[in-house]
Amino acid sequence: MLDALKIRLAQETALKAVRERTVDPAPPRPRDRTVLVVLPQEEEEVRIAWKLVKAIDAPRGRVMPVSLHGRVPYVPDAFAGAVFQVEESKMDWRGLPKKVVSDAVWTRRPNVALDLSSSFDLAAAYLVGGSSAVLRVALHHPQAEPFYDFLIAPTHGYRVAVGALRHYLAALDPPALAFSD
């Protein structure tokens, strides 16, 4: 019963953040956009996610990788020291990032926000969904719909879904993000 109450209160808080967010216009050039990326938890998926993140054609300072599971099992050299690691102590009693964490992420004013979690994660939905991003994207899950602008169906596995996401982001007119390779 307490778990159900905790989940309901967390969902209400996350949905409130989505409703109250301020959307900033994105810079015209994809290269000038700030990108929030929530990384998955499992090592194999983290490696797949990093391939997408490394290919984003933007200065490294404009790409903000976040791990909601503390230590990341793999980080490419180009992003060493750049991952914002949210330890369990930085989560509130509902399982959402504490205000100091969400403020630190949202202060960067991301223009594009990617939740690369392999399954629905309310903490990730809260950070991505409540951000200032013009475009908020994640893998599809029925609970995810209120938090994102676009959902990718992972019908053929995580690797294919991340590839489809990259194709989608580059194919928009104008592209949401540019990729270097």
Tens-digit pLDDT profile for residues 54-80: 999 999 999 999 999 988 889 999 998
pLDDT score, position 155: 83
Mean pLDDT confidence for 152-168: 92
Listed by start position, the domains of the chain span: 2-22+30-171
Q: Name, in order, each residue with C-beta under 8 angstroms of 146's C-beta and a sequence gap of 6 or more.
A: 15, 18, 129
* Helices vs. strands in the chain: H and E counts, helices first: 5, 6
Gap between the Cα atoms of 181 and 179, Å rounded: 6
- pLDDT class for 1, splitting at 50, 70, 90? low
- pLDDT class for 39, splitting at 50, 70, 90? very high
pLDDT score, position 31: 93
- 110 closest CA partner among 62, 42, 170: 62
pLDDT at 14 over 80: yes
Fold classification of 2-22+30-171 (topology level): Rossmann fold (3.40.50)
Buried b (16+ CB within 10 A) or exposed e, 161-176: bbbbbbebbeeeeeeb
Query: Which residues are bridge partners to 38 per DSSP?
Result: 66, 115
pLDDT at 104 over 90: yes
Q: What are phi and psi of 57, to 5 degrees?
A: -85, 80
pLDDT score, position 181: 72
Give the rounded percent of residues in the chain with a pLDDT score beyond 90.
Answer: 88
- Across the chain, mean pLDDT equals 94
CA-to-CA separations, 21 to 16, 75, 126, 129, in angstroms, rounded: 8, 30, 11, 8
- Burial category of 41 from C-beta neighbours within 10 Å (exposed 0-12, middle 13-18, buried 19 and up): middle
Give the rounded percent of residues in the chain with a pLDDT score beyond 70.
Answer: 99
Mean pLDDT confidence for 9-27: 96
pLDDT at 173 over 90: no
pLDDT at 95 over 90: yes
Find the distance separating the first CA and the last CA of the chain, reported in whole Å: 50
pLDDT at 6 over 70: yes
